[in-house]
Amino acid sequence: MFIGGQSAGAIGSFFSAYIDQQEWEIAFPGIEADLGALDTSGNNLTHSFTLKGIFNNWGMAMSSSINPSELLPTISFHGGQDNTVPIDSSITGNIAFIGSGIVHDVLQTNGICSELTVDSLGGHGIYTNSVGLEFRIERASCFFKSQFCNNCSSTLMTHAISANCSLDTQTSNLQVDQTSIQLFPNPTQNDFTIVGDLSNYQIEILSASGTLIQVIYSTDTSHTIDISDLPQGIFFVKASNLTNNQLVLQKIIKHN
């Protein structure tokens, strides 16, 4: 699972990743008595998820809560002139915070992948129009994909550089239609069924990194595919029409 947000949402993401109940009590004595235990929300259920990375948009972390053993890969965007959430360090009450710039340095120092884009003239909130939003989402998507593929590299950028981590760069000339087929159940444990007009389609099962796993030729309106022998993870179903270059690319999640 990845977590992220903008401003308060990014701060909350850092808190979720790094602050435990004891640290909350030190920062805000009596908080558990007032609001309940951090991991149960007033019930007896405990969390069962693991965070794999953070999408930080002009946020900050509590410096005392971060230790090297729990650092997570993080992609960050921050304005150099942000006076609301400074990119470096700040003090709120008696609590010291570190912004995206210092977080990036801490991650690099400890060998954890970090990508930071800084707009040196930007304030609180950068790349917020439709083009900028798409840029941030694409960079975050590629960054998180790099975690699955174990090929992440730390980067510091001072201007917008478009992401390029296409699953299959050889299909850019094909028409893409994401709605012409359906996959169910999704997520799945053993097999899934593809439903749609699959006449004269080549169906490929790809790993998250784009590695070809299986090829199937179909002339039916539905096709059930057994993936029980695959490990848990994210895969892609790529259906290519052999007559009109129609391409469909859908994600399938395999669980144990």
User: Beta-carbon neighbour count of residue 130 at 10 Å?
Assistant: 7
pLDDT at 197 over 80: no
The whole-angstrom separation of Cα 93 and Cα 88 is 17
The per-residue pLDDT for range 94-126, each reduced to its tens digit, is 788 999 999 999 999 999 999 999 999 999 999
Q: Which residue has the higher pLDDT, 207 or 136?
A: 136
pTM for the full predicted model: 0.64
Kindly state the average pLDDT of the residues 79-93.
Answer: 91
The per-residue pLDDT for range 168-187, each reduced to its tens digit, is 433 333 344 444 678 889 88
The per-residue pLDDT for range 144-168, each reduced to its tens digit, is 988 887 788 889 998 888 887 754 4
The per-residue pLDDT for range 56-84, each reduced to its tens digit, is 999 999 988 888 999 999 999 999 999 99
Q: Which residue has the higher pLDDT, 118 or 255?
A: 118
The structure tokens listed for 213 are 């796993």
Instruction: Kindly give the residue spans of alpha helices, DSSP state H, lying in 90-156.
Output: 100-109, 130-149
Sign of the torsion formed by the C-alpha atoms of 178, 128, 161 and 59? negative
Confidence band of 41 (pLDDT split at 50, 70, 90) = low
Domains and CATH numbers, the chain: 2-157 (no CATH), 169-254 (2.60.40.10)
Residue 97's pLDDT is 92
